[in-house]
A and B are shown apart, each in its own frame.
Chain A
């Protein structure tokens, strides 16, 4: 169970990226976080694992308050939160296997990780995950040799090998073509269901969100302005979130696509 209570972030420039965001996400639930660019979506998920320090408010994961942790305890807490990035954020010059194993860095000491002497159980798990995401044959390739969709699969494996309770997913499909986007979203939602993970998925593509998640939260200017099921996203609601536009096409398209699949 992840709880955000009055989470607020004010940047040094005075921009208020989040104001009093209060959310509850039970274990196993996936939410899609939508909203226009600059609404604070990325800031919100970075405030949860404190890549960005929140200004005030609290974040609680399974009863542990994260915002007040010292650096050692924060590192142990970050192991419980896997993160997946828009541009994959793989270390390009390391191999696929090294990238996946880097998800275990929080569990092994410096010299073991430096010499790449990971425990056998970690290596077994890495192979299992690579097999699960369909990249077993790519294990020894360098990350920069992979295509966008393949890289994102490695990014997913890296997040999952942490054995997290929560996935923080930042625009996982923004750099991918429509078909790969769906495959990636399907993979993420399947894996979350298999492992009972909660997830926050930042996403631009409203129809894609409607296709794959049961709960949608919308941010605008740092405020939560919508929290409901995918079917509740009517043209009026989308106008509230993004501004005036003809939304019928977006929503109609979703329904067509759902019939196809």
Chain B
């Protein structure tokens, strides 16, 4: 609250709870797995898996990592 508004709405602190900038990180695991240029190829292979398969399976870890980070950062009393 930089600007000293005389009539600041009293609900503002509650609203901020879900408006944490950390939430924007969640768009990474939504957007990245939907860009075929990243994964639609054969090489390099890992344990015999073409890139198409191992990279998409690896995106699962990207999703887990991001949701865990955002959860930790936005937990009650945690990220503020």
Q: Report if A and B associate in a common complex.
A: no
Q: Which residues of B contact A (CB under 8 A)?
A: none
